[in-house]
Amino acid sequence: MASANLLEVRDLRVSFPLPNRGADSFVRAARGVSFGLSRGEILGIVGESGSGKSVTTSAIPSLLPAHAIVTGSVLYEGRELLGLSGEELRAYRGRKIGMIFQEPGRSYDPLQTMGGAFFETLRNADPRISRTDANRRAAELLADVGLDDAGRRLASYPHQFSGGQLQRIGIALALAQGCDLLIADEPTTALDVTIQAQIVALLRGIRDRRGIAVVFISHNIDLVASVADRLLVMYGGLVMESGPARAVLESPAHPYTKALLAAAPRFGAHCSEGRLQSIPGRVPDPTRHEPGCPFAPRCPRAIPACAAAIPEMASPATSGTDREYRCILEPEAAT
């Protein structure tokens, strides 16, 4: 694994007990996820619904529900975050680790002006900030995320903005406390293709200007690859493949990555252009604990050994150690 100087996630496991299904019934949402992130790096996490993307990233600032069972390690600047108290975590949430989510409109109080939202957020970092200073800072942040006429718009309410504008405001709020890491969980899924492209360009611009690290999550591998330096492909709570985004896109090593690429709508293209293959079969039931590769039942290359044990992560023979994949088969030659 590449050395990381900001965040190091090691063997992260998250499960949720299902008491109404029996004492030892549980969902295994993350099953030993490891990755690193350097300052200024954009990591893209991709995978179908239920693959464990949100659970993995919510575990970083300990935002999982209290009944989640979490083991492993989340080192942020060398400090273990798992097991910190709520008080200690407050120094990380927002201040060091910012988050933005899908459907930006839902995160706002409909009765609060944007100026009010910024005032509250900025007060977390500086309890003595005045409303005038908060407004000035908010206008700067909004200008930085490309919202026109930022100062005047602080008096507006959430419903007076478009979805794309709200996502820009969400990014500005996430940056307001000066975070070093921004976790963006499907930030463009609710937006149309043109606005998606603008938000992706904005995130890259912010990374370039501020040198912050970004984790960008999406179902769409083409979209993720257009923004990320490195990719993490997840399935069934496991990392199936990781490596530099361009290399993974050009020569996917894992059959699952290949299937995702075949199923992705080309970023920026109209849906009617080209044929969209969906991946046959269904995502695995996370409450059933099969011993083998979770993708085996849907994999066109599966052999009986695939069902026996989960393969270890390994570098493909033809690539450097910055690429890894979890499959007992040699990668197929690029077609």
Member of 16, 193, 204, 302 binding ligand ATP (CB under 6 A): 16
> Residue 134, Cα to own-chain centre: how many angstroms?
29
Residues 269 to 298 in contact with ligand ATP, rule: CB under 6 A: 286
Q: From the CB of residue 222, how many other CB atoms can be counted at a distance below 10 Å? A: 17
Pick the piece of the chain touching ligand ATP (CB under 6 A) from 45-53, 69-77, 89-97, 201-209: 45-53
Pick the piece of the chain touching ligand ATP (CB under 6 A) from 44-52, 86-94, 156-164, 223-231: 44-52
* Residue reference for tokens 């003595």: 128
d(CA 101, CA 85): 24
Which option in Mg ion, ligand ATP, none does residue 78 bind, with CB closer than 5 to 8 A by kind? none
Is residue 47 at the binding interface for ligand ATP, with CB under 6 A as the rule?
yes
**DSSP conformation letters of 54-81:** HHHHHTTTT-S-TT-EEEEEEEETTEE-
Helix, strand, coil percent content, the chain, rounded in steps of 5: 35, 20, 45
Q: Which is nearer to ligand ATP, 151 or 265 (CB)?
A: 265
Which option in ligand ATP, Mg ion, none does residue 127 bind, with CB closer than 5 to 8 A by kind? none
Member of 44, 46, 54, 225 binding ligand ATP (CB under 6 A): 54
Q: Which is nearer to ligand ATP, 29 or 122 (CB)?
A: 29
d(CA 43, CA 214): 6
Residue 131 has φ and ψ, to the nearest 5°, of: -60, -40
Residue in 58, 62, 132, 37 with CA at minimum distance from that of residue 101: 58
Q: Which is nearer to ligand ATP, 219 or 326 (CB)?
A: 219
Is residue 243 at the binding interface for ligand ATP, with CB under 6 A as the rule?
no
Instruction: Compute the least distance from the CB of residue 97 to Mg ion, in Å.
Output: 17
Q: Beta strands of the chain (E only): which ranges? A: 7-17, 26-37, 42-46, 69-76, 79-80, 97-101, 181-185, 213-218, 230-235, 238-244, 324-325
> Residue 196, Cα to own-chain centre: how many angstroms?
15
d(CA 266, CA 235): 21
Pick the piece of the chain touching ligand ATP (CB under 6 A) from 53-61, 78-86, 174-182, 269-277: 53-61
Which option in ligand ATP, Mg ion, none does residue 22 bind, with CB closer than 5 to 8 A by kind? none
Residues 127 to 186 in contact with ligand ATP, rule: CB under 6 A: none
Instruction: Compute the least distance from the CB of residue 119 to ligand ATP, in Å.
Output: 31
Instruction: Compute the least distance from the CB of residue 5 to ligand ATP, in Å.
Output: 26
Instruction: Compute the least distance from the CB of residue 47 to ligand ATP, in Å.
Output: 6
Is residue 219 at the binding interface for ligand ATP, with CB under 6 A as the rule?
yes
Q: Which is nearer to ligand ATP, 52 or 116 (CB)?
A: 52
d(CA 14, CA 33): 9
d(CA 292, CA 38): 32
Instruction: Compute the least distance from the CB of residue 71 to ligand ATP, in Å.
Output: 15
d(CA 85, CA 82): 9
Member of 8, 33, 51, 327 binding ligand ATP (CB under 6 A): 51
Residue in 29, 35, 24 with CA at minimum distance from that of residue 14: 29
Q: Which is nearer to ligand ATP, 49 or 278 (CB)?
A: 49
Is residue 258 at the binding interface for ligand ATP, with CB under 6 A as the rule?
no
Member of 50, 170, 311, 331 binding ligand ATP (CB under 6 A): 50
Write the CB contacts of 154 (distance below 8 Å, at least 6 apart in sequence).
113, 114, 115, 118, 135, 138, 139, 142
Is residue 54 at the binding interface for Mg ion, with CB under 5 A as the rule?
yes
> Contact residues for ligand ATP (CB under 6 A)?
16, 27, 29, 47, 49-55, 65, 219, 286
